[in-house]
Structure 1
Amino acid sequence: MKSGILIFLIAYLLGSIPFGYLLVRVTQGTDIRKQGSGNIGATNVFRKSRWAGILTLLLDGGKGYLAVSIAGWMGADPAWKAIAALGAILGHVFTVWLQFKGGKGVATGAGSYLAVCPAAVVTTLALFSAVVLITRYISLASVLATAAFPLWALLYGEPIAVVLWGVAGCIVIIVKHHENIRRLLRGTENRFALGNRQKQAARGGIDANQQGTA
Structure 2
Amino acid sequence: MKKKGIDITVEGSGNVGAMNTYEVSKSKLIGFIVFVVDFLKGLLSVLLIKWLYSPEFIFPALALLFAVFSHCFNPWINFKGGRGLATAAGGSIILVPYLLFGWILIWVISFIYKKDILLSNILATPLSLMLVLGKPDLAAKYALNQPDVNLLILFSTSGLIIIFIKHIEPLKEIIQTYKSRGMKK
Residue in 2 aligned with 1:150? 129
Between 1 and 2, higher relative CO (CA 8 Å, sep ≥ 6) is seen in 1
Q: Which amino acid aligns with 1:143?
A: I
Q: Distance in 2 between matches of 1:33 and 1:157?
A: 36
Q: Which TM-score applies when normalising by structure 2?
A: 0.81
Instruction: Note the C-alpha offset of 1:139.
Output: 1.6
Counterpart for residue 145 of structure 2: none
Alignment root-mean-square deviation, CA: 1.9
Instruction: In structure 1, give the amino acid aligned to 2:139.
Output: G
Q: Which residue of 2 aligns with 1:79?
A: 58
Aligned match of 1:43: 19
Distance 2:161 2:124 in 1: 12
Aligned-partner Cα distance in 2 for 1:157–1:110: 15
- Equivalent in the alignment of 1:170: 160
Unmatched runs of 5 consecutive residues or more in structure 2: 141-148, 180-185
TM-score by length of 1: 0.71
* Aligned CA distance change for structure 1 residues 75 and 141 (closer, same or farther; 3 Å): same
Q: Residue by residue, what CA displacement relative to the aligned partner does 1:2-41 show, whole Å, maximum 9, x if unpaired? A: xxxxxxxxxxxxxxxxxxxxxx23x534211222111111
Contact kept? 1:86, 1:166, Cα under 8 Å: no
In the TM superposition, residue 51 of structure 1 has moved relative to its aligned partner by 0.7
- Number of aligned pairs? 165
Aligned counterpart, 1:94: 73
Task: Give the structure 2 partner of residue 33 of structure 1.
Answer: 9
1: distance between equivalents of 2:110 and 2:21?
21
Matched, 1:54 2:32: yes
Give the share of equivalent positions with the same residue, in percent: 29
Structure 1 unmatched ranges of 5 or more: 1-23, 190-214
Deviation at 1:93, TM superposition (A): 0.7
